[in-house]
Structure 1
Amino acid sequence: MAIAESTPSFRAPAEGASGEAITRISGGEVGEISARLDRLPATKAVWKLILLLSLGFFFELYDLLFTGYIAPGLVKSGILSSTTHGLFGTSGVASFIAALFSGLFIGTAACGFLADKFGRRAIFTYSLLWYVAANTIMAFQDTAFGLNLWRFISGLGIGVELITIGTYMSELAPKHLRGRAFAVCQAIGFSAVPVVAYLSYLLVPVAPFGFDGWRWVVLIGGVSALFVWYFRRNLPESPRWLASKGRVDEADAALKKLEAQVESQFGQPLPPPGPSEPVPRRASFADMWKPPYRRRTLMLIIFHIFQTVGFYGFANWVPTLLVKQGITVTSSLLYTTVIGLAAPIGPLLGYWIADRFERKHVIVAMASVNIAAGLLFSQAGSPATIVVLGVLLTLAGNIISFTYHTYQQELYPTTIRARAVGFVYSWSRLSAVFSSFVIAFVLRDFGVHGVFVFIASAMFCVILAIGLMGPRTLGKSLESISH
């Protein structure tokens, strides 16, 4: 069957009373768009879209995760201290981490609607430019206040970008490829970890041309991210989003172009679309608190409050934790560079399980690994043990990350996907704001072992929330999951 034969027909616009064209859209038309997307094979054209989004995710994670790696440099320069004098002191590393996550909280909670209103492509572009500009200004700050202020502002853009990329990815990837698409995206994204770790190892202890090394680490990420702005012109708008907005002609045109590219590479006519799934009615923010979404919303809020403690408790604090164990700044950054090499391996391993095992089961299993490896890490003394356990923690954390990024996007309908995921995801940012201060407090009074007991308790809550409340989603269309 040729593409033209499998392409559904759309209703022509009708004239409203004022003469303005009104597009009449039916649930069947939206469902047909989704069915056409879900039947696309995994060709070069489909993977190109995934790789372009993944490139954006790389620079986003670079900016998000350099916090822990430049922290020793910020302490060395005298701008911040490693611990705080009080629980909510504003001159320590904890305040720098909290400023970022405060911005992330507002960006995800209050601004997630932007991608639902203005489109995935536009917000993907402008939020990237926002946080690049903010981090560039931050690199020239010499006070704790200035540093924290601009880190907060950059966090706003990063928060919006995080939600937009995940939503964009879930809507462009066919259902049989969705888990692997997120695995590849996360593998590319988390390859930023060894990059920023190695750059920090080279630059943070020194001051090239009289300019603090941590500033170079920040600026390199910002300048490089501008390449994404250039390449983004090859990304189409999400056909699912266009159809949900009644812009069916644009959705049809964008999808026809993609179908033509896919068929050319596939070497044979595309299979006909499967039966159209019933499309949920247009939803509002209030629908998050009605069945079937209420249970999912509560589950994701609990999950995000506690998963952040485990993930960022290690990622943002490991250099500082190692220094507290008596390891030098240079050696600490060397160990974290080696550990960071494992960051993209987690999602690559996950590529082989992403569309074979239920998302919720993978999250529960990896949270268990996180608990065991973390408690052992707190007692580690030799370099080999530190690196091995650090690698295990990194692998487990990153497999959890790519899995839940896929999972949470599947649980809400297209019309509210970005704002709903933004809302539940924002709780992880709020959690990170307070947990960074709690970790600093626990580190001061109970040492490294106390920090990992705190992290293990949080990951146990993750296991309970996902294991008891999480629905199954493997192999289902986005529309069928939304019922």
Structure 2
Amino acid sequence: MTTLEGASDLRAADHPARADTSQAAGTGEISARLDRLPATRAVWKLILLLSLGFFFELYDLLYTGYVAPGLVKSGILTPTTTGLFGTSGVASFIAALFCGLFIGTVACGFLADRFGRRAIFTWSLLWYVAANTVMAFQDTASGLNLWRFISGMGIGVELITIGTYMSELAPKHLRGRAFAICQTIGFSAVPVVAFLSYLLVPAAPFGVDGWRWVVLLGGISALFVWYFRRNLPESPRWLASKGRIREANEVLARLEAQVERQYGQPLPEPGTPDPAPRKAGFADMWKPPYRKRTLMLIAFHIFQTIGFYGFANWVPTLLVKQGITVTSSLLYTTVIGLAAPLGPLLGYWIADRFERKHVIVCMAALNIVSGLLFSQAASAVAIVMLGVLLTLAGNIISFTYHAYQQELYPTAIRARAVGFVYSWSRLSAVFSSFVIAFTLKEFGVTGVFVFIAGAMALVIVAIGLMGPRTLGKSLESISH
């Protein structure tokens, strides 16, 4: 830091009002410098490291549906419940995960705002890996559900942290594509976990139930991310929002030096800094302009969860209910799972070209049509094709809203605010898993997909009528 900068910091410290002005100016400048960075290897490396964390996050989040037949086969769980909220069925296992996710997002989202993106990214990963490892050795429904709940808390914190981290490190011209690549890598976990489940769940290698191997392999592999996290810097935007302008400048200067070497010419001049939002607290979520966004995202998350997880977590069980064997069901879902990373990969080409709200609305409509046709499908070809369409639509919605919701709040409360609205999806999943189990028992597969279609119609209404436009705007300008 130069003598002039040091003197400025000292003067600001003596005058609180001047300190606030100085911090706001510094935050705006940091943001403008980040947003003008070209898409070089140094920038993509950060995105890829976060994406690797997201891969194992989704592996642990989405193996639920794939190991469910194995849990039933081993006698630990039953496919349906005797009552609406029975604790011995597959629904209770799914609900335990989402209860944990709810607590992790609503009660612990503030951790990344308080202690930084990098630290919470690391510790929440270790948390859920340890919990899943213990869960893999449980033999009772109560033990299984307890440790799935604990691992869900860690997964919930990690999901919020990765999204926040990504939105703050990616330049504005790259933000949509960054989330598309992150989700492409993340959803590559779906065919991996589907294939491992196909190989292992019907078997018992070395006398150990196959579902336990699926759980353990994900946890062991995730520890590699903990090793590589040393290459991730703290978010300069977060540092600046905390008044740590000197540290933010140091982190950003190192990144700029790497980018400039790879760019081969001087970096573009930063644009005019957008004024940073005033210091925000949690209560600001309920004041204009954030109140409308908060209500929109709460409604969106309540209903999108029914569509996304209603298919992802239940498809093997739904197929078995249609008379298809466990082995054939897992084979079909493995093939369908191959399409999972293709959704966000296709989205890469539209991510920074079309408004995020319009993409969500169109994909929700595709989900409705494909789901209703899937419920009537009988042939293997129809099941796989419609399953692929449902997967593509769901995953394009997923990467789009992960980018979208991070854009709608200021840096000071981004993790807490997104954690709060995102937590409603977890709460929704807790109850919808029991409702789907009940609907499956009483009304069959068709009833389940009618229920899902109604939920996705409400997604279209919420986003279509209340969602603001964000394409190509800086995070600071969207926050005003």
TM tier relative to shorter chain: over 0.9
Task: Tell me the equivalent position of 1:437.
Answer: 434
The alignment status of 1:238 with 2:270, answered yes or no, reads: no
Could you report, residue by residue, the CA deviation over 1:414-438 in whole angstroms, capped at 9, with x for unpaired residues?
0000000000000000000000000
What are the superposed Cα offsets for residues 320-349 of structure 1, whole Å, 9 maximum, x if unpaired? 000000000000000000000000000000
Does the aligned pair in 2 maintain the 1:13–1:23 contact within 8 Å? Answer: no
* 1:395-418 deviations in Å (ceiling 9; x for gaps): 000000000000000000000000
1:306 Cα deviation from its structure 2 partner: 0.1
2:282 pairs with 1:273:
no
Work out the CA distance in 2 between the residues paired with 1:91 and 1:240. 46
Indicate if the aligned counterparts of 1:25 and 1:248 stay in contact, CA closer than 8 A.
no
Taking structure 2 as the reference length, what is the TM-score of the superposition?
0.97
Residue 301 of structure 1 pairs with residue 298 of structure 2:
yes
Counterpart residue number, 2:443: 446
Amino acid at match of 1:371: I
Deviation (angstroms), 1:149? 0.1
| Structure 1 residues 124-149: Cα deviation after superposition (integer angstroms, max 9, x where no partner) | 00000000000000000000000000
Q: Which amino acid aligns with 2:339?
A: A
Residue in structure 2 matched with residue 386 of structure 1 by the alignment:
383
Contact 2:296–2:463 under 8 Å retained in 1: yes
Q: 1:121 aligns with which of 114, 118, 124?
A: 118
Secondary structure at the counterpart of residue 268 of structure 1: coil
1:249 is aligned to 246
Secondary structure, aligned partner of 1:12: helix
CA shift, 1:25, in A, is 3.8
Choose from 77, 80, 83 the match for 1:80.
Answer: 77
**Match for residue 363 of structure 1?**
360
Alignment correspondent of 1:403: 400
Kindly indicate whether residue 28 of structure 2 is the aligned counterpart of residue 31 of structure 1: yes
Question: What does residue range 38-437 of structure 1 map to in structure 2 within 5 Å?
Answer: 38-437=35-434
The residue type equivalent to 2:239 in the other structure is: L
1:385–1:16 distance in 2 versus 1, CA, 3 Å: closer
CA distance in 1, matches of 2:121, 2:364: 30
In 1, are the aligned partners of 2:23 and 2:245 still within 8 Å (CA)? no
Shift of 1:26: 2.5
Deviations 1:42-64 (A, max 9, x none): 00000000000000000000000
Q: 2:284 and 2:444 mapped to 1: Cα distance?
A: 44
Displacement, 1:29? 1.0
| One-letter amino acid of the structure 1 residue matched with residue 355 of structure 2 | E
C-alpha distance after superposition, 1:146-194 (max 9, x if no partner)? 0000000000000000000000000000000000000000000000000
Please report the TM-score for the alignment, with normalisation by the length of structure 1: 0.97
Mapped partners of 1:263, 1:68: distance in 2: 46
SS at match of 1:131: helix
Are the aligned partners of 2:285 and 2:291 in contact in 1 as well (CA < 8 Å)? yes
Q: Which runs of 5+ in 2 are unaligned?
A: none
For residues 23 and 164 of structure 2, the distance between their equivalents in structure 1, rounded to whole angstroms, comes to 22
Q: Distance in 2 between matches of 1:434 and 1:383?
A: 31
Q: Deviations over 1:262-308 (max 9, x none)?
A: 00000000011000001100100000000000000000000000000
* Cα distance in 1 for residues equivalent to 2:272 and 2:99: 44
The CA distance in 2 between the partners of 1:360 and 1:289, in whole Å, is 21
Asked if the contact 1:135–1:150 (Cα under 8 Å) also holds between the matched residues in 2, the reply is yes
1:200-245 CA-to-partner distances (Å, cap 9, x unmatched) read: 0000000000000000000000000000000000000000000000
Q: How far off is 1:28 after superposition?
A: 1.2
- 2:23/2:240 contact within 8 Å kept: no
- Asked if structure 2 preserves the Cα contact closer than 8 Å seen for 1:112 and 1:419, the reply is yes
For 1:42 and 1:15, how far apart are their aligned partners in 2?
35
Offset, 1:24: 8.1
**One-letter amino acid of the counterpart of residue 103, structure 1:** G
2:453 match? 456
Conserved 8 A contact 1:193-1:341: yes
Tell me how far apart the structure 1 counterparts of residues 414 and 12 of structure 2 sit (CA, whole Å): 30
Counterpart amino acid of residue 158 in structure 1:
I
Do 2:23 and 2:241's aligned partners in 1 also have CA atoms closer than 8 Å? no
Taking the aligned partners of 1:310 and 1:429, their CA distance within structure 2 comes to 13
Indicate if the aligned counterparts of 1:24 and 1:246 stay in contact, CA closer than 8 A.
no
Contact 1:13 1:24 in 2 (8 A): no
- How far apart, in 1, do the equivalents of 2:194 and 2:163 lie? 25
Q: Give SS of 1:65's match.
A: helix
Deviations 1:10-54 (A, max 9, x none): 73345979xxxx998431111000000000000000000000000
Q: Measure the CA separation in 2 of the matches of 1:349 and 1:15.
A: 48
Contact 1:115 1:123 survives alignment (8 Å): yes
Q: Which runs of 4+ in 1 moved over 3 A?
A: 8-11, 13-17, 22-25
Distance in 2 between residues matched to 1:333 and 1:280, nearest whole Å? 50
Alignment partners' CA distance in 1, 2:244 and 2:324:
59
Q: Which amino acid aligns with 1:280?
A: P
The code of the aligned residue for 1:477 comes to S
Identity of aligned residues (%): 83
Mind listing any 5+ residue stretches in structure 1 that lack a counterpart?
none
Which of these residues, 464, 473, 480, is aligned with residue 476 of structure 1? 473
